[in-house]
Amino acid sequence: SAQIADLQQKLLDADNGDRAKQRWDSIATILEAKCALKYLLGELVSSKVQESKLQSSLEQGKATCSDVHRMLIEERNHVTEMEAEFQNQLVVQEQQHQEKVKHKSWK
């Protein structure tokens, strides 16, 4: 089944190649050549416009990714700062608690 599908695809590809060659071989006049050239140039321009749009989209995507990455780093730094502050507060409270315990035990 896979071999049959592969052979069918090869035949289609060969047929398309033959058709393209036949189309070029069938151009017999300057007018036909001009029309073919005009069509190909139109396709080229269309392709270049599409490439430009895709490039622009890619650049915009990269910029967005960079912004998100920067925001992620900022958030990580903020969380790290908050954790450090929490640890400092915990140490202070622990020290205060120890002082209260010692003070009560002296009485």
For the chain, 107 residues long, give each residue's pLDDT as a single digit of tens.
788 888 878 777 766 666 666 777 777 888 888 888 899 899 999 999 999 999 999 999 999 999 999 999 999 999 999 999 999 999 999 999 998 888 877 76
Q: From CA 94, how far away is CA 81, in angstroms rounded? A: 20
Q: How far is C-alpha 61 from the chain's CA centre? A: 6
Q: How far apart are the first and last CA of the chain?
A: 94
CB of 20 within 8 A of CB of 14?
A: no
Most distant pair of Cα atoms in the chain: their distance: 116
CA-based radius of gyration for the chain: 36
SS3 state at 28: coil
Residues 27 and 33 sit within 8 Å (Cβ to Cβ): yes
Cβ–Cβ under 8 Å, residues 58 and 49:
no
As a whole number of angstroms, the distance between CA 33 and CA 39 comes to 10
User: Per residue in 48-64, pLDDT tens?
Assistant: 999 999 999 999 999 99
